[in-house]
Structure 1
Amino acid sequence: MTSRSSLDHRNLNHSPIMHKYEAVPIDPRVEHNLAQIMNDLGRSDDVVVREIRYEKTGAVVTAIVYIDGLSDAAAINCYIYDVLNHSIKTAFTEEREEEICTTVLAKELLFGMGAIRTVSEMASLYKYLLAGEAVILMEGDALAYHADVREWNGRAVTESTTQTVVRGPRESFTETLRTNTSLVRRKIKDPRLWLETISMGRLTQTDVTIMYINGIAKPSVIEEVRSRIRAIDIDSVLDSSFIEELIEDGKFSLFPTVYNSELPDSVAAQLLEGKVAVLVDGTPNVLLVPTQFISFFQSPEDYYQRPVYASMLRLLRFGSFFISLLFPSLYIAITTFHREMLPTSLLISVAAQREGVPFPAFVEALVMEITFEILREAGLRMPRAIGQAVSVVGTLVIGQAAVEAGIVSAAMVIVVSVTAISTFTLPAYSMSIPVRILRFVFMAVSASFGLFGIFMGLFVLLLHLCSLQSFGEPYMSPLSPYRSTFMEDSLVRLPKWMSFKRPDTAVGSGERRYRRR
């Protein structure tokens, strides 16, 4: 198994500049290094150089280089520049010129600052400089010093707008990696919570952190995550979806095999179940692997409510999943092939509504579903103040106008509306997307083969789901393969005093994790 230290801050993807200077040592001449840095960075306006010169000759003795906007300029001026400038002037006054740019003087500064390390290659110098750290160059010294003074404006920790809860913590992840790791450490105060940081992207050099609990997460899963991330060679990593798309199983499957969340309590809970989290700098969405199908129906709020309420709501979500997937296709199949299944009064009512409709039920449902999808996307893309109003009002107005015009029946409007509302009950947005796509497939097979086509479609879908895996773990576990000992938190949630075994995704699955005192 690869050691943690060998992965920390490893450059898996090198840019041309990084590759060019990978084995090039730092020149002892400060002015030569400054000219090289400014030339490679195109003399950009945000590259700041603070020089300290020898008063008698005017030669540059020490230089501090940093990127404006990424580094804390106040800290650099107060704790680095002022200390160096004072130390150098004192050394000249006391005629200790030979010590001005030696390691002795550097250690005096480092001892007072802390969090300062040395680099000996130009590639590492560029890496830390572009990450927001201040680089210190000294005349006659073949080492450069980098101080962790990174500071940039970021979004504060606020309530999530995509995963809302009624009861439970309201904080969510931000776009700052270190803020996100600290939110998880606040939940899990255990030294076995390990982090491994990797730089990815030849151009972006994005920090990607692997987080897991040593001794609970399976070593095979940890190593699989490492190997898949290590195999990625890409120009840029701007969001966690870049990583998700490249490491997920079932690349041609509609169903997600990597879970993502922006809630720290949800991530902490799944880490305690033996899962591995992947955090990407610049995005609030954290990836979690391995994952199961039932995980997309579990809400963090289930564990903050009484088990009876949580179980009822979870069963309601499973029911809503089948309604949103099959309701339009069932309506098409019954009204087209199996009218005898309807009560006589309801059959007469539906037939009367469809008497003036010029299209078959499939075309009618297809038009309404596409119209609703257009309105839903328009509501998401429009300004937030009017987006929701446009989607709701537009649906009502268009639906009523379509019924009055005789294009669709009133029953079809009800079917499409109930189907759309059922989709919003799924806690994970990533699961609603395959449902919306498969809905059209089931509508097509129901229009062609009736209920037989729906049942065959469900059979094929079940076979596909049972064939999927997520990082070596069965996607449909514990339903397939069926494991009765791990059903305590699947379709329903048993009380906490009955849920005392570790899940099968963790080391020592089946062992007790809860004991009554």
Structure 2
Amino acid sequence: MLSRLLIKALKRSSLKNRTKKTTASPHLITPSLQDNMQIMSQRMGNSSDFMVRKVPGRDGIPDIALCYIEGLVDLDQLNSIMESWLTATVDVTETTGMDSLLKKVLPSGQVSQLQTVNALIPAVLEGKAVILIDGLEVAYSASIAGLEKRSIVEPSSQTVVRGPKDGFTEDISTNLSLIRRRLRTPDLRVQTMVIGKYTNTKVTTAYIDGIADPNVVSEIMSRLHSIETDSVLESGYIEEFIQDASVTPFPTMINTERPDSVAGSLLEGQVAILIDGSPFVLIAPVTFFKFLHSSEDYYQRYDLTTFLRAIRFVSFVVSLLLPSLYIAFSTFNQEMIPTPLLISLAAQREGTPLPALIEAFMMELTFEIIREAGVRMPRVIGPAISIVGALVLGQAAVQAGLVSGAMVIVVSFTAIANFAIPAFSMAAAIRLIRFALMLLAGTLGLFGILAGIVPIYVHLVSLTSFGVPYLSPFTPLRFSEMKDLIVRLPWPLLKTRPKEISQRNLVRQNEKQRFMDSTEDQGK
């Protein structure tokens, strides 16, 4: 009698929370616990890692079944739920529904009510425990995920001398917490969706309401919702789906492992895209000059930062043009080289059998192979093999008379300059374009280099990143926005945010308050 009264009370409570149904559907949860268990097992394909543990009821408490994926849940919390259910005592006069009963049984955490079988499957695959209750047409999910996570360590791809040392991990919840730790404001908006037919990957967008451009946020969300694919395993999938131009070597989104870099970008009006399972967070929109900036630029003094940025821009030009200029000068435009240097280069090339173009291509390809081998080999021996291989091959090639010593110097300095570019995606784009410019320099000389640079510049001018001009603030030209481009002014002079990203809430420093504080200090 007590069990019947409890089930009737639970049914009345669950009916109030259920959505209206016009017709019966085979996807709805049935009152029979055994049928629900069988349906769940069939939907999961009777997989060996899908577990269903039935817990008998007593003293008016109905039978339940716990459905979960082995290895995705915390077994200690799962056993705690089972023990609590077996020992729970309920007074029907005090119980208004299953919600109050679950509050006494389940550990603290997120508990959701599920209405259909289609909602049960994603909950199980997310690492939750689904609770089926005999006699009810609803189920509950408990967040007791116990998946092993990688600890927070220093990013390996973006190191800094001064600045935070923590980096993102593959867990999206951990990554969001790292951002929340730096941006303690209720204006930080987070929106999550699921993309991928088979992977069901969580993709989260984060931005600051009142700073980010609503049109940009709407455009990013629209592109994300339009993605129809069966899998998303890394942030590179999303980047290729939503980028503005697919036929371009230049990246239109930045990926970073640094939470402080993401926080700084959000404060400038940009939008962050986090993908579950990837430690790299996408940032959009961006401009070309953002790829030559580093988060450390804002932690060092402004004069040192300006010097380092100048070095990066020089390294960018060297990495792009140095081999091409050497080929053009040594092949077509010898009059551009001072006579003593020309004599020295001619003496070095006297015994080399190959033209400068073939020589440069051979050396560049050799270095690319060494670089790729160093990355793919085990970390213990990879760096040693790459360094020794470069030294041995370079020295042996010079001694054998295959290449000149000057060419070895040019290729080595070009590679070092390429490493000085902070963004790996931009450095990779320069490596690709360099080969095309070398070919033009070997066929047309300086005119060929110019014929290659002009289309590249036109292409850069035509690019946009979610509506933001790629070469802004150079095109369109805004001198007022160049205070944080190559030369970084001191923080007290950076009163406004960059206008090319967003036009909202531009002022980020209270000038009046700073003036009042300085006046009070002078009076003391």
1:118 and 2:113 equivalent? yes
1:109 and 2:102 equivalent? yes
2:427 alignment partner in structure 1: 432
2:189 alignment partner in structure 1: 194
Q: CA deviation at 1:424?
A: 0.3
1:28 alignment partner in structure 2: 31
1:323 and 2:318 equivalent? yes
1:334 and 2:329 equivalent? yes
Structure 2: how far apart are the matches of 1:151 and 1:56? 32
Please give the residue correspondences for 1:405-484 in structure 2 after superposition, counting only pairs within 5 Å: 405-484=400-479
Could you tell me whether the CA contact under 8 Å between 2:52 and 2:68 is conserved in 1? Answer: yes
2:162 to 155, 159, 167: 167
Q: CA deviation at 1:293?
A: 0.4
1:50 and 2:53 equivalent? yes
Could you tell me whether the CA contact under 8 Å between 2:127 and 2:145 is conserved in 1? Answer: yes
2:270 corresponds to which letter in structure 1? K
Q: 1:23 to 1:312 in 2, by over 3 A?
A: farther
2:504 alignment partner in structure 1: 508
Q: CA deviation at 1:512?
A: 4.7
Structure 1: how far apart are the matches of 2:98 and 2:115? 18
Could you tell me whether the CA contact under 8 Å between 2:210 and 2:504 is conserved in 1? Answer: no
Could you tell me whether the CA contact under 8 Å between 1:52 and 1:60 is conserved in 2? Answer: no
Could you tell me whether the CA contact under 8 Å between 1:196 and 1:211 is conserved in 2? Answer: yes
TM-score normalised over the length of structure 1? 0.91
Structure 2: how far apart are the matches of 1:491 and 1:482? 15
Kindly, what percent of the aligned residue pairs are identical? Answer: 46
1:14 alignment partner in structure 2: none
Q: CA deviation at 1:486?
A: 1.1
Matched residues, number: 487
Q: CA deviation at 1:304?
A: 0.7
Q: Which runs of 4+ in 1 moved over 3 A?
A: 54-57, 111-114, 509-514
1:211 alignment partner in structure 2: 206
Gaps of 5+ in 2: 1-23, 518-524
Q: CA deviation at 1:61?
A: 1.6
1:347 and 2:342 equivalent? yes
Please give the residue correspondences for 1:68-467 in structure 2 after superposition, counting only pairs within 5 Å: 68-78=70-80, 80-87=81-88, 90=89, 104-110=97-103, 113=106, 114=108, 115-467=110-462
Q: CA deviation at 1:204?
A: 0.6
2:156 corresponds to which letter in structure 1? T
1:498 and 2:500 equivalent? no
Could you tell me whether the CA contact under 8 Å between 1:158 and 1:172 is conserved in 2? Answer: yes
Q: CA deviation at 1:358?
A: 0.8
Gaps of 5+ in 1: 1-20
2:20 alignment partner in structure 1: none
Secondary structure of 1:153's counterpart equals coil
Could you tell me whether the CA contact under 8 Å between 2:211 and 2:269 is conserved in 1? Answer: yes
1:3 alignment partner in structure 2: none
Could you tell me whether the CA contact under 8 Å between 1:31 and 1:60 is conserved in 2? Answer: no
2:172 corresponds to which letter in structure 1? L
Secondary structure of 1:354's counterpart equals helix
Structure 1: how far apart are the matches of 2:25 and 2:283? 33
Structure 1: how far apart are the matches of 2:506 and 2:133? 59
Q: 1:22 to 1:409 in 2, by over 3 A?
A: farther
Secondary structure of 2:493's counterpart equals coil
2:378 corresponds to which letter in structure 1? P
Secondary structure of 1:238's counterpart equals coil
Q: CA deviation at 1:111?
A: 5.4
Structure 2: how far apart are the matches of 1:407 and 1:430? 32
Q: CA deviation at 1:380?
A: 0.5
1:15 alignment partner in structure 2: none
1:171 corresponds to which letter in structure 2? D
Could you tell me whether the CA contact under 8 Å between 1:353 and 1:410 is conserved in 2? Answer: yes
2:12 alignment partner in structure 1: none
Please give the residue correspondences for 1:6-25 in structure 2 after superposition, counting only pairs within 5 Å: 24-25=27-28
Once the two structures are overlaid, the 10-residue window that deviates more, 32-41 or 240-249, is 32-41
2:248 corresponds to which letter in structure 1? S
